[in-house]
Amino acid sequence: MKKKSIQIRKEAHTECTQCPIRKLALFQGVAPDRLEWTQKFRDQQFVVPPKVTLYREGSLTDYVYTLFDGWMVMYQTSREGKRQILRFALPGDFLGFQTDQRGMVSHSVSALSESIVCGFPRSRLEEMFKETPSLALRLASMGSRDMNLCQHHQAFRSRKDAYESIAFLLLELFHRTQIHMNHHYDPKTNSVTFPLTQEEIGDAVGLTNVHVNRILRQFHKLGLINCHHKRLHILDEEKLSDMSEFDKSMVSSNPLAYSLDQ
């Protein structure tokens, strides 16, 4: 196990332009004066190199995080040491809020590609909610989106075969990538950067890498996708969407309760 230590960036000021907090989903729609106020709480930015773990399941974390750039995985480790991927975190996602009743996070988070995260002291969350109640609602709403996705996976797990599961995951990531990482999207080829290995896809949808490979080859043969060199081309979104019952609205970044949104 390679284990580099996490680097802490000095002087967050210079980073602001690179990663304007304004663009992050969590803070969208918060009034500008409030926004400045929340900036006070911003604590430290980290660079997390690939394969390095941000936090490990079972630990008592003092921080919650916002992912600024990069791809990360949220996973649990089974008794036998196998990695169970819960979901992939993309820029704008919030990490580490969920804990069990002892305050321990229930999953680990590692970087797939070099990632930049922003830490926020957990102890100040309540203070922040008091000042900016809409933030609490927004956090809850992001939680709802995650919950909806998670529930969807749970509900359709055994009804879905390998084709459906994989098609769904590809579309989910394809769309989520476009929402917050437009610079990675190439409209000419309808493709996005896609750093996952087939094994990681398998760990996410609950299939072996071998079977994932068979399905992907099929998709390629049928002219639905083209996936090479860390780049995913969607050639026939229509068909993929049909076979997986994928609904864009499920990955929308702003699932706020309607009556609270006005």
Residues that bind a second copy (CB under 8 A): 60, 62, 75-76, 78-79, 82, 84-86, 97-104, 106-107, 122-123, 125-126, 129-130, 133-134, 136-137, 139-140, 143-148, 150-159, 206-207, 245, 249-250, 252, 254-261
The rounded distance, in Å, linking the Cα atoms of 70 and 116 is: 7
Least distance to a second copy, CB of residue 40, Å: 18
Least distance to DNA, CB of residue 205, Å: 8
163 binds, among a second copy, DNA, none (CB under 5 to 8 A by kind): DNA
Least distance to DNA, CB of residue 210, Å: 4
- 112 Cβ contact partners less than 8 Å away, ≥ 6 residues apart: 50, 70, 71, 72, 73, 88, 195, 196, 200
**What would the two tokens of residue 220 be?**
């390629």
DSSP 201-260: HHHHHT--HHHHHHHHHHHHHTTSEEEETTEEEES-HHHHHHHHT--GGGG-S----GGG
198 binds, among a second copy, DNA, none (CB under 5 to 8 A by kind): DNA
Least distance to DNA, CB of residue 69, Å: 18
199 binds, among DNA, a second copy, none (CB under 5 to 8 A by kind): DNA
What value, to the nearest 5°, has the Cα angle with vertex 198 and ends 98 and 116? Answer: 45
The rounded distance, in Å, linking the Cα atoms of 241 and 261 is: 29
C-beta closer to a second copy: residue 132 or 177: 132
Residue 199 and residue 206 in contact, taking contact as beta carbons nearer than 8 Å: no
Q: Which residue has the tokens 């995913």?
A: 232
Q: Which residue has the tokens 């996976």?
A: 153
The residues that touch DNA, with contacts defined as CB under 7 A, are 158, 161-163, 197-199, 206-211, 213-214, 216-217, 229-230
**What would the two tokens of residue 47 be?**
């660079």
C-beta closer to a second copy: residue 17 or 154: 154
254 binds, among a second copy, DNA, none (CB under 5 to 8 A by kind): a second copy
17 binds, among DNA, a second copy, none (CB under 5 to 8 A by kind): none
